[in-house]
Amino acid sequence: MSEYKQTITKLILSDISGYKIQKETGRSQTVLSILRKGIRDLDNLTLKTTEKLYECAETHLNL
């Protein structure tokens, strides 16, 4: 698994609220909810969404 995918997975599985992630990334809470429920795979995200989630994870997870 790539570093990007591992980092985003940690963010998705973290206790950080969907609202906070949404505010910082501009990605909808619906997308985050679908990811957290496992309905949508990280491999199917757009590059822009992946970048935003990765940046958010780096900021909040102290990686």
* Rg over CA atoms, the chain: 10
| % of residues, the chain, pLDDT over 90 | 86
Architecture of domain 3-60: Orthogonal Bundle (1.10)
Give the model's pLDDT for residue 3.
Answer: 87
Contact between 22 and 37 under an 8 Å Cβ cutoff? The reply is no
Cα atoms in the Cβ-side hemisphere of radius 13 Å centred on 4: 13
- DSSP secondary-structure letter at 37? H
Contact between 32 and 12 under an 8 Å Cβ cutoff? The reply is yes
- DSSP secondary-structure letter at 43? G
Give the model's pLDDT for residue 58.
Answer: 94
Give the model's pLDDT for residue 1.
Answer: 78
Give the model's pLDDT for residue 63.
Answer: 64
Q: What is the identity of the amino acid at 16?
A: I
For 16-39, what is the mean pLDDT? 93
